[in-house]
Structure 1
Amino acid sequence: MARDAGLEELVWEDLGGLTGLTTKVMFGGLAWMLDGHLLCGARDVGLMVRLGKGNDTWALDEQDIEPLSMSEKSMPGWVRAGLDTCADDDLRKRLLDAAVAFVRTLPPKL
């Protein structure tokens, strides 16, 4: 998998200004961490977004969003948004806002 500089820039614009935000290269793309917790990741195939178990139903109703699985392992509470969703500014922002809201409920990692 390759990185997508354009998508990374969009995510930076959406998340810019958050305190506690860092990035790390992982999963073949760029991942954003909030207070030490994995928040989302961007690759050339779209975004993986952490919404939390039980918080992803609304997102899975969207046509271009599906449950995330890695190496055939289901990742409850995570979704993968395709490039069409990533290109929709409102939907992408809604996903990222929901991810931030969930991750902020977790205790900060040291």
Structure 2
Amino acid sequence: MAYDEVLARRIRELLADRPGTTERAMFGGLGFMVDGHLAVAAGSRGALMVRADGTDGAHPLLAPMEMRGRTMSGWYETAADAELTDEDLAELVEMGLRRVATLPPKG
């Protein structure tokens, strides 16, 4: 399954004015990177993937992300069928941005 094009467009609109933002196709999804660090992605299963710390990961729309049966530390995702309001999406994208802001820029 390909990523959700509508979700990708909505993320792109939120990040349009953010310096250092790039997009990269990965694992069947579309990742949004800031200064070389993946912050959020429109996942291949239709979910929004968010990079977050444990405190932010407790958000009610998020669950720990699993890939090939393993929980991915520091990554969370919404249900594939979650209906994200504009406010929900903005909050979750901001969560990913906060997390990558703590990381050194990649060259």
Alignment RMSD (CA, Å): 1.5
Work out the CA distance in 2 between the residues paired with 1:25 and 1:74: 22
The answer for unaligned runs of 5 or more in structure 1 is none
Q: Is the 8 A contact 1:53 1:76 kept in 2?
A: no
Residue 18 of structure 2 corresponds to residue 18 of structure 1: yes
Work out the CA distance in 2 between the residues paired with 1:13 and 1:73: 32
Q: Which residue of 2 aligns with 1:36?
A: 36
Q: Deviations over 1:69-97 (max 9, x none)?
A: 11111112211112424x31111110111
Q: Aligned to 1:80, which of 71, 77, 85?
A: 77
C-alpha deviation, 1:54, in angstroms:
4.1
The secondary structure found in structure 1 opposite 2:2 is coil
Moved over 3 A (4+): none
Spell out the pairing of 1:57-96 with structure 2 (5 A cutoff).
57=58, 59=59, 62=60, 64-82=61-79, 83-85=81-83, 87-96=84-93
Q: Deviations over 1:40-61 (max 9, x none)?
A: 110352211001244312x1xx
Task: State the TM-score, normalizing by the size of structure 1.
Answer: 0.85
Task: State the TM-score, normalizing by the size of structure 2.
Answer: 0.88
Count of aligned pairs between the two proteins: 105
